[in-house]
Amino acid sequence: MTSTEGAAPTRAPWGEKPFSLLGTVALYLEGWRMIVMLGLLGGLTAIAIVTLLPRKYSARAMFMAESGSESEMGALAGIAGQFGIPLGSGNSGPSPEFYQALATSSVILMPIAAESTVVSRESGASAVPLVDLLRARGGTPTRRVERATEKLQKAVTANYNRRTGVISLNVRTRWPQVSDHVASRILEQLNEFNLHTRQSRARAERTFAEQRVAEARGRLRAAEEELRRFMESNRSVRESPMLSLEVERRERELSLAQQVLGSLEPSLEDARLREVKDTPVITVLQAPTVLSVADPRGRIKFGLFGGIVGLLLAAVIIPVRHALREAGSEADPEARRFFRALEDLRRTLRLRSRRSE
């Protein structure tokens, strides 16, 4: 029987060794220098990048938007009621969330992106197109405006407070004048959009009401004419019960036509007034204001983020480096294959760089 005492223990192939918690902890303890170095390097790099970025200035504004009026709903309900369509008395206007999304949409921001704004420089104040300030690139002017709109959408934020019903608008750019100009123009564009929408709806209601009034007047004239002809052709109405019933029926039709016309005419006048009404629908609670100092850079926040990224990078590099060292010291075919492929990749990259040079 052959003795196996004193024989060297067999080592598991590379990549098939069991996991050891103590070994993993010891591995990270041995590489504490790399962990500290990469953590500090990541934090300092993030702070340096944030410091080198241009300062930003924010313009803040608060507003409330009307979501409908009882007179508009009452007029529409009166018209629809003639068709037997019941409308509730609830609010039919857009919700505050609609205005929140509208403030950052391309419908509002695209006309602003195509404008110019006054910017103070060393040579003096001058009007500069926003597409130039935002460095919007594109082959055509339309494409440049679209790119500028996309950049404005990243610079504009709108938040809705459900408890107070107030919408907060914030515009953050590199220039305080630009931030103030864009915030003011957004409020103007919101008001114009809502005013145009309200007047368009009133115009449609007015057209519908005019059509209904014309039909009601036609029915009223027809009922009056029928009653007149019947009375002229039947002068002894009281002597005949059948003729008396017919007269009463025609008088009821005439009265009903008068009631329908009387209920439609006020709705028509109300729609005509709302069509030309230009009362602002945006209530500005706080006009756009820009602080005299730039926004804080957030160095601590970005420094911590960069440090965490450095620590995660160290957590990946340390076990990979250990595995590569062990693989290099072992006569494992898979390890040799890995290093051979790595060497081929390095040579290919070096050859391509020489060709490009």
Q: With bands split at pLDDT 50, 70 and 90, how would you rate the model's confidence at 168?
A: very high
Total number of domains constituting the chain: 2
Among 196-200, 274-278, 324-328, 347-351, name the most confident range. 347-351
**In CATH, what number is assigned to the domain containing residue 70?**
3.30.1890
How would you label 290-329 residue by residue, b for 16+ Cβ within 10 Å and e otherwise?
A: beeeeeeeeeeebbeebbebbeebbeeebeeebbeeebee
Using the structure block, give the residue that is written with the tokens 């804080």: 296
Task: Share the mean pLDDT of the chain.
Answer: 76
352: in domain: no
Give yes or no for residue 357 having a pLDDT over 70.
Answer: no
Give the residue with greater pLDDT, 305 vs 54: 305
d(CA 184, CA 289): 10
Q: With bands split at pLDDT 50, 70 and 90, how would you rate the model's confidence at 158?
A: very high
Host domain of residue 278: 57-209+264-290
Give yes or no for residue 307 having a pLDDT over 80.
Answer: yes
Q: With bands split at pLDDT 50, 70 and 90, how would you rate the model's confidence at 169?
A: very high
185: in domain: yes
The whole-number pLDDT of residue 277 equals 65
172: in domain: yes
235: in domain: no
303 and 183 together in one domain = no
Give yes or no for residue 2 having a pLDDT over 60.
Answer: no
182 and 197 together in one domain = yes
Q: With bands split at pLDDT 50, 70 and 90, how would you rate the model's confidence at 122?
A: low
73 and 48 together in one domain = no
d(CA 351, CA 357): 10
| pLDDT 10s digits, 57-71 | 889 999 887 654 444
| pLDDT 10s digits, 260-272 | 777 777 777 777 7
194 and 123 together in one domain = yes
Give yes or no for residue 195 having a pLDDT over 60.
Answer: yes
91: in domain: yes
Q: With bands split at pLDDT 50, 70 and 90, how would you rate the model's confidence at 170?
A: very high
The whole-number pLDDT of residue 115 equals 86
336 and 194 together in one domain = no
282 and 328 together in one domain = no
